[in-house]
A and B are shown apart, each in its own frame.
Chain A
Amino acid sequence: MTTSLQEMMRSSLRASLALLFLSGPAWAEGAVTLKIGYAPGGGYDAVGRLVADHLGGFLPGRPDIVVENVDGAGSLKLAKLMAGSEAADGSVIALVNSSVTIATVTRPELADFDARSFNWIGSMNDTPSLCVVPNASPVRSVEELLAADLIAGSTGKTSATYVMAALLRNALGGRFKLVTGFKGGAEVNLAMERGEIGLRCGYSLTSFQALGTGLLRPVGQWTMNVPETTRDLPSFLDLIEDAADRKAAELVIGNLAFDNPLLLPPGTPQATVDAYRAGFDAMVADPAFQADAAGRNIELSPKPGEKVAEIIDSLVSVDKSVIARAAELAQ
């Protein structure tokens, strides 16, 4: 309490001084805002708040990080805001769904920005994306899931909750119907619990472990590399027989390798980007951070910003025919 109070007084004093005699980079003086593309209460919110608690300590000037939830369209709204209107001085960073990067090639009419223009700070997870059903559901296997007349719930059309379910339906021939408009994962889960819908995809393993209440059960997973923890769960990618479809599916799920990415707006000065990247790398290596993450049931498999930028570059510059097929599969 004392430390955080002192910390707060100190940063408030800094902010007030900044108000009177402003100088130096904006983000080093006052608080940094971490905008999270989802409503509070879901997996992204949990990861964002973990980062907000620690990242400031690894940045020059040790700024306070204030969380703001800017939910809408499966974090596409925030991505668009970051691409367009946010200050590129390091005072605002964002945590979005990594699937918005893929949407820039598969749904350019909605995601009309260049994912490569962002300055990526780093990503928190490389984690499978699960499709889950309520515990009481009669669906036990992938075959039963594909044959069932279900409704799958999602947030926005470019969100993982939509894209992963659409991919499953289109690449493997599912019969279920897709519904959009829920406000965050917590609301999708609740709708599943009250029996309105029967399936949720795009539930990252990390969030499922952190927030799963024991009422939901995974049926299968989307992932490029099956980790040890989910070895027994069927991998949807392995069930796709058509080679072209598989390639397109790989593009659609390619973003899973850098889930929970943090970014700075386009045009941020390189020195600021470097400071954030160094801060991020130091944070994820810090034992105190790792212990806190473990305490909050958040599994980590971080990637540095440079690596994230590299993956995105390779993902969005694939052959046009692959993009076209991927777009069809994700609709």
Chain B
Amino acid sequence: MDAWTTAIAGVTEPFTLLMLVCGVVVGLVIGVIPGLGGIFGMALLVPLTYTMDSYAAFALLLGMGSVITTSDTIPAVLIGVPGSIGAIATVEDGFPLARQNQAARAFGAAYSASLIGGLFGALVLALSIPVMRPLMLLLKSPDFLAISLFGLFFVAMLAGPQPLKGVIAALGGVLMSFVGIDDQSAVARFTFGTLYLWDGLPIGIVFLGLFGLPALMDLSRRTSISGATASMRPSSMLVGLKDTLREWRLVLQCSSLGSMLGAIPGIGLPVIEWVAYGMAKRDRKGGPEFGEGNIRGVIGPESANNAKEGGSLIPTIAFGLPGSATMSILLGAFMVQGLVPGPAMMTTNLPITYSLILFVALANILGASLCLGLTNPLARIALLPSTIIIPVALVFVTLGAFQTHASFADIVVLVGFGILGHFMAQGNWPRAAFSLGFVLGPSIERYFFLSYQIVGTDWIYRPSIQALILLGGAFAIRKTLAWRRARRAASAPGAHRISDMVAIALLSAACIFVIVDTWSMPDGARRFPTFTAILLLVVVAALAWQMFLRDRPRAPWASDATARLARRNETMKRMLVPVHCVLFASLVMLAGLVVAVPIFVLTVIWSRNRLAEQPTGRAAAVIAALSTTALSYGIFGWLISVPWPRPLLWF
């Protein structure tokens, strides 16, 4: 009990509490801006903590780290662009809710779920202190492999209406994750001679591209997000709160999941988000279809992602092994404070460990309360005309990607994955499965090699692997049967889309390329990509057989010419978004941030105005341009430590 008393005394110091508030505010701001996340926040704040005592330092850092996943819901719900990688699943149902003018309800549910999740994570951390080391020591390399594989398989099967497409998307993501210098034998894989790709495809940009840009492309067809002009009902937020309380079982399930998976190194936020979404998706509970605004699709992921922070502190404290990228930098702060993670954190430094729990809990309470207070004004953003929202959001999405390496290649990756994400969404290829394959690919490769080297083929007999095979098999059979039933119930098979044929052809070509390209590489670098490519080729062949031979379409291949023309026009309109993205980035490189932002925002508003039914007024356009410039300069020019390229025009 003494340790708790010391911890509480340390936490309630006025300066410590002030730092907690500062951390929470910074975390909320970072969460709102797409492209910025915990890593950015930690890198920003860690240098400030060098001269602080341990309590104040961790108050600032954990205050920030704990609430990013609370406020990243705001852009996810309002414009369909996740604020951080911790909100990619929230978009699925949060954004449709905003479109139905229920943004306030989505926020009410999300924040309350975040709060409960965060508190639950802190509780798990508190309870696990005495057992965290022995428990973590029980897990061996094959178990980590099983967990990674299971996460991937679960989401691949659950993500889309067609199981095979899910598996293909997941394997495609795994293949993409192999880009870069491989850890086993240090050779460059699929870098095409560019040094940029040596570090691998930057995960933050890949996710912004996959989920952020397509949302904006979709938005470009609408006049405003909600498409309605009805006023916000203040009571909607309470409806959301009640939704969360009604779904208390789901909240607890997803919170436990978040904190447990958070404790496993290599399992990132996207995995937790999608697995939680999958859990929520098992039962519609009388609400609308998932993807069309079912509130459970918001509550599940939101309660899981905030619970993660507590969970990922476990391996950090117990072994000095960061459970997430944010924790990696937090570990640096441990060193600065002279704290050595390990048994000492459970004995001599126990008060510090307890204070971490208190910070996570307090930050969640504070973060959720602040966000709830802001819900109603924020929800009104959904009513703003899309002519304003698109350029403003594009500025932040582009700069968020651009700050990663301050290189034009960042934009190429963003736009490339934006277009890929768009076509995946159009063709019912689940992006969730792809993104998970991308995150888990390297972990699966590493844990596979470690398991194989350490125990040989015996890793197959590990109970966790056996359980995975059994559960996975049962799950796959059930899912396939359900899909077949649904297919039979449907009338004649519809026309197959040309895009599916193109996708199948491209995927096959990519697989053959991977097999040929890795042929001459050392064993360690070759085995996994080759295996993945062969597996992918088999699944693609199965899909081709299923689509084009077994279910030979009775309808003609293409739909009528008018519909095709309409679709083409629509696609052209959407493609303006990636084009704008490239133009804006070029403008930044040419003229610098301060000049580029207002010119870009005003030009896009002006050009879109010509197409819009209700044009934006001049005053509104100028206000939007000026405030975006000030805000983006404040964040990306003033706070950020990335050296930006010199504007070409002035030098």
Contact = CB atoms under 8 A, between A and B. Distances in A.
Q: Are these two chains actual partners, yes or no?
A: yes
A267 to B, nearest CB: 14
A271 interface: no
Nearest to A295: B338
B449 interface: yes
Nearest to A15: B641
A262 to B, nearest CB: 17
A255 to B, nearest CB: 17
A85 B338 contact: no
B442 to A, nearest CB: 9
A313 to B, nearest CB: 24
A151 B594 CA distance: 57
Interface in B299-348: 319-322, 328-329, 331-332, 335-336, 338, 340-344
A288 interface: no
Contacts, number: 171
Given A40-B331, A77-B198, A186 B320 contact: yes
Contacts of A190: 136, 319, 321
Range of interface residues on chain B? 35 or more
Nearest to B57: A1
Nearest to B316: A41
Contacts of B646: 22
Interface stretch (B182-190, B541-549, B569-577, B614-622): B182-190
A12 B141 contact: no
A197 B141 CA distance: 11
A40 B641 contact: no
Contacts of A85: 195-196, 198
Interface stretch (A65-73, A122-130, A276-284): A65-73
Contact of B43 (A29, A66, A180): A66
B572 to A, nearest CB: 35
B637 interface: yes
B52 interface: yes
Interface string A32-43: 010000011100
Contacts of A177: 453
A298 B289 CA distance: 58
A183 interface: yes
Interface in B511-528: 524
Contacts of A53: 50, 336
A70 B338 CA distance: 23
Given A4-B51, A158-B186, A19 B335 contact: no
Contact of A40 (B182, B329, B449, B637): B329
Interface string B119-160: 000000000000000001111110000000000000000000
A211 B320 contact: yes
B593 interface: yes
Interface centre among A13, A49, A211 (most CB of B within 10 A): A49
A156 B332 contact: no
Contacts of A181: 183-184, 446, 449-450, 453
B641 A213 contact: no
Contacts of A155: 183
A186 B332 CA distance: 13
A76 interface: yes
B510 to A, nearest CB: 24
B186 A77 contact: yes
A206 to B, nearest CB: 13
Nearest to A72: B183
Given A19-B644, A187-B321, A81 B195 contact: yes
A16 B642 CA distance: 11
A12 to B, nearest CB: 5
A179 interface: yes
A140 interface: no
Nearest to B46: A67
Given A5-B48, A158-B186, A296-B338, A193 B137 contact: yes
Contacts of A302: none
B638 A12 contact: yes
Nearest to A87: B643
A64 B198 contact: no
A70 to B, nearest CB: 7
Contacts of A183: 183, 265, 446
Contacts of B594: 19-20
B38 interface: no
B639 interface: yes
Contact of B186 (A64, A110, A211): A110
Chain A, interface SS category: mixed
Contacts of B593: 19
B460 interface: no
B47 A156 contact: no
Nearest to A65: B47
A175 interface: no
Contacts of A26: 643
A314 interface: no
Given A22-B651, A179-B450, A84 B198 contact: yes
Given A8-B48, A53-B336, A186-B319, A91 B454 contact: no
Contacts of A3: 51
Interface string B80-105: 00000000000000000000000000
B48 A211 contact: no
A196 B455 CA distance: 9
Contacts of A151: 453-454
Given A19-B592, A41-B322, A84 B195 contact: yes
A180 B453 contact: yes
Contacts of B343: 213-215
B48 A4 contact: yes
A70 B183 CA distance: 12
A261 interface: no
B53 to A, nearest CB: 10
B181 interface: yes
A169 interface: no
A253 interface: no
A96 interface: no
A30 interface: yes
B461 interface: no
Contacts of B320: 41, 186, 211
B623 to A, nearest CB: 23
A45 B48 contact: no
Contact of B47 (A4, A33, A189, A211): A4
A206 B344 CA distance: 19
Nearest to A89: B643
Interface string B248-275: 0000000000000000010000000000
Contacts of A39: 322, 328
Nearest to A75: B186
Contacts of A46: 335
A320 interface: no
Given A49-B336, A84-B195, A91-B643, A41 B453 contact: no
25 contacts: A4-B48, A5-B48, A12-B638, A15-B637, A15-B641, A15-B643, A18-B643, A20-B592, A21-B650, A22-B646, A31-B641, A31-B642, A41-B331, A49-B335, A53-B50, A73-B185, A73-B186, A84-B198, A110-B185, A151-B454, A155-B183, A183-B265, A187-B265, A196-B140, A296-B335
Given A15-B643, A182-B450, A295-B338, 16 more contacts: A13-B638, A18-B643, A19-B644, A20-B592, A30-B641, A31-B643, A39-B328, A41-B341, A85-B196, A157-B186, A179-B454, A180-B449, A191-B141, A213-B342, A215-B343, A296-B336
Top 6 A-B residue pairs of the complex, sorted by shortest distance between their CB atoms: A85-B195, A73-B186, A213-B342, A40-B328, A179-B453, A194-B137
Interface of B: 43, 47-48, 50-52, 56, 136-141, 181-187, 195-196, 198-199, 265, 319-322, 328-329, 331-332, 335-336, 338, 340-344, 446, 449-450, 453-454, 524, 592-594, 633, 637-644, 646-647, 650-651
